[in-house]
């Protein structure tokens, strides 16, 4: 319980908050000077209004004189989602024998709200002056005294309930009800073009701007940059990559089938220009360990994954990359519409993640070690495509697919609509009325397809 100039309120002490908050109602009631601000958050693209309040004097509502403190800066909030039933009162301390001595220092529940959160920008408010705890059982509630008065911390008498009852307060967010109207709209609406919606964070905004300003088409392939938070200055980790490669070599020597499939996969990657030897002399770069991963639903199908989270001297490639926004289509709408017709049609894009190239200047961050064509000498390679293992891969690939569709929608309108409305990542699914006459792309389906 605190006394503010011309007002009375309850406050929460939050030692993990770097900001102090005051409710708009309290600010109005004490008529304190304030300055209007425009505030935007990383999770909300809308700009909101708030007020800055400076130099607020507080003192505890204690029996006897108490020292006042100054909160240098506070920001207004419409409300503070807290339950007054958790405020310690004399009955709270009387419920525990070791806390009875502070019962007369606590005040009965007052007719005022919770109007403040005091963060560590006012550290004096949270400074413990005295504590009282149980001598042996540290799980029981304890009392703490600050310059603002006494409080009880821990499970206690809450809202008139017994001390041993578990009582929890939950700040609820309203979720829209599923009505028939909303279900029909979900079936009929176009679930695509999530990339046209405003990104939800500053990082997502940076990602989208980077893609839109840097995407190019070279030799029939779309080139997308590695979405760095900032251009990294990574240490030379080739020695670490060599140790990891020797471990991989040991595993391949023990398992001939694994070695055969591994070599076959990497040979295919190199033959398609998805990787190539680094220039001579070897350019300095960041080396990424790699390993084989079997597809859980495709026995015998091996994919080589790159460990972009591998850390060397506190650095990893994934730490330098933006993850990007979720650009997938609405899966709920896609699955709902998949129930509409009789005949199911499914498809996927083969090796979609390797269809998008990386600019030449970014390839130095995608180096790896592998045996050369002679099978004995170790050669330094770099990938020319985005890596399976990079946290930015899903967003980059889906952005690239959507870019292809947008750029070719006039030439292949039905195929573009099919991909926009019926694809999730690299998988397409749709139902058509008949297996003989209908086709996802139209009557014939041969002249208007995705290449």
226-257 pLDDT, tens digit per residue, is 999 988 889 999 999 999 999 999 888 888 88
* Average pLDDT for 390-399: 90
For the stretch 440-451, pLDDT in tens is: 555 444 334 333
| Top-confidence residue, 320 or 157 | 320
Q: Can you tell me the distance from the alpha carbon of 12 to that of 19, in angstroms, rounded to the nearest whole number?
A: 12
Q: Which helix (H) or strand (E) holds 35?
A: strand 35-41
State the average pLDDT over residues 355-368. Answer: 92
> Is residue 367 within 8 Å of 407, Cβ to Cβ?
no
Residue 379 has pLDDT above 80, yes or no: yes
* pLDDT at 26 (0 to 100): 83
Q: Contact, 74 vs 32, CB < 8 A?
A: no
Higher pLDDT, 28 or 216: 216
Is pLDDT above 90 for 5? no
Mean pLDDT of 193-202: 54
pLDDT for the residue numbered 120: 87
Q: Which of 31-45, 328-342, 408-422 has the highest average model confidence (pLDDT)?
A: 408-422
Q: How far apart are CA 14 and CA 306, in angstroms?
A: 42
Q: What is the mean pLDDT of residues 28-53?
A: 64
Which H or E run contains 183?
helix 180-188
403-426 pLDDT, tens digit each? 988 998 888 888 888 888 788 788
Give the per-residue pLDDT at 281: 57
Residue 175 confidence (pLDDT): 47
Specify the pLDDT at position 320: 92
Low-confidence winner among 193-202, 283-292, 416-425 (lowest mean pLDDT): 193-202
Full-model pTM: 0.55
For residue 180, what pLDDT band results from cuts at 50, 70 and 90? Answer: low
As a whole number, mean pLDDT of residues 2-19 equals: 78
pLDDT of residue 243: 93
In the structure, what pLDDT confidence band is assigned to residue 163 with cuts at 50, 70 and 90?
Answer: very low
pLDDT of residue 223: 93
What pLDDT is recorded for position 202? Answer: 82
Higher pLDDT, 173 or 265: 265
Average pLDDT, the chain: 79
Per-residue pLDDT, averaged over 389-403, amounts to: 90
Give the pLDDT of residue 364: 92
Q: Is pLDDT of 53 > 60?
A: yes
* pLDDT grade for 164, boundaries at 50, 70 and 90: very low
pLDDT > 80? residue 326: yes
Predicted confidence at residue 287, as pLDDT, reads 94
Q: What percent of the chain has pLDDT over 70?
A: 79
Closest CA to 188 of 345, 327, 336, 331: 336
Residue 41 makes CB contacts below 8 A (sequence gap 6+) with 48
Contact in structure between 405 and 329 (CB atoms under 8 Å): no
Strand partners, 303: 293
- Terminal alpha carbon distance of the chain: 70
**Which strands, in side-by-side order, build the sheet including 378-383?**
275-277, 378-383, 367-371
Where helices occur in 409-441 by DSSP H, the ranges are 413-422
**Averaged pLDDT, 325-340:** 75
Cβ neighbour number for residue 66 with a 10 Å cutoff: 16
Least confident stretch, 38-47, 245-254, 262-271, 358-367: 38-47
pLDDT of residue 165: 46
């Amino acid at each position: 319980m605190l006394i503010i100039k011309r007002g009375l309120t309850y406050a929460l002490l939050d030692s993990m908050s770097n900001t102090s908050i005051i409710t708009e109602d309290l600010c109005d009631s004490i008529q304190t000077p304030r300055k209007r601000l425009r505030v935007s958050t990383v999770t909300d693209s809308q700009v909101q209004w708030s007020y800055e309040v400076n130099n607020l004097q507080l003192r505890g509502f204690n029996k006897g004189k108490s020292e006042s403190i100054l909160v240098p800066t506070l920001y207004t909030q419409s409300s503070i989602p807290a339950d007054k039933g958790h405020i310690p009162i004399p009955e709270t301390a009387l419920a525990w024998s070791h806390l009875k001595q502070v019962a007369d220092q606590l005040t009965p529940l007052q007719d005022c709200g919770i109007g403040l959160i005091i963060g560590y920008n006012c550290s004096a408010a949270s400074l413990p002056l005295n504590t009282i705890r149980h001598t042996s059982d540290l799980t029981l509630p304890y009392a703490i005294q600050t310059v603002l008065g006494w409080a009880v911390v821990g499970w206690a008498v809450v809202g008139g309930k017994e001390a041993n009852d578990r009582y929890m307060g939950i700040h609820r967010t309203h979720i829209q009800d599923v009505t028939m109207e909303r279900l029909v709209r979900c079936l009929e609406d176009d679930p695509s073009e999530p990339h046209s919606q405003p990104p939800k964070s500053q990082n997502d905004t940076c990602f989208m701007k980077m893609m839109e300003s840097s995407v190019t088409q070279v030799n029939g392939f779309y080139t997308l940059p590695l979405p760095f938070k900032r251009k990294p200055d990574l240490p030379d980790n080739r020695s670490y990559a060599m140790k990891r490669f020797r471990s991989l070599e040991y595993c391949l020597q023990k398992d001939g089938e694994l070695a055969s499939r591994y070599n076959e996969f990497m040979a295919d990657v190199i033959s398609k220009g998805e990787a190539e030897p680094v220039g001579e002399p070897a350019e300095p770069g960041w080396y990424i360990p790699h390993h084989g991963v079997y597809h859980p639903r495709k026995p015998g199908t091996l994919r080589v994954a790159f460990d972009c989270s591998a850390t060397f001297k506190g650095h990893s490639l994934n730490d330098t990359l933006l993850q990007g926004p979720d650009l997938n289509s609405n899966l709920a709408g896609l699955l709902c519409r998949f129930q509409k017709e009789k005949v199911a049609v499914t498809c996927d894009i083969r090796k979609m993640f390797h269809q998008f190239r990386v600019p030449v200047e970014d390839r130095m961050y995608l180096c790896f070690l592998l045996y050369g064509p002679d099978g004995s000498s170790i050669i330094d390679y770099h990938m020319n495509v985005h890596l399976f293992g990079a946290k930015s891969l899903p967003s980059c690939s889906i952005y690239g697919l959507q870019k292809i569709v947008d750029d070719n929608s006039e030439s292949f309108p039905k195929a573009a609509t099919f991909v926009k409305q019926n694809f999730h990542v690299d998988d397409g699914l749709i139902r058509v009325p008949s297996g003989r006459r209908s086709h996802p792309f139209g009557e014939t389906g041969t002249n208007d397809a995705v290449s």
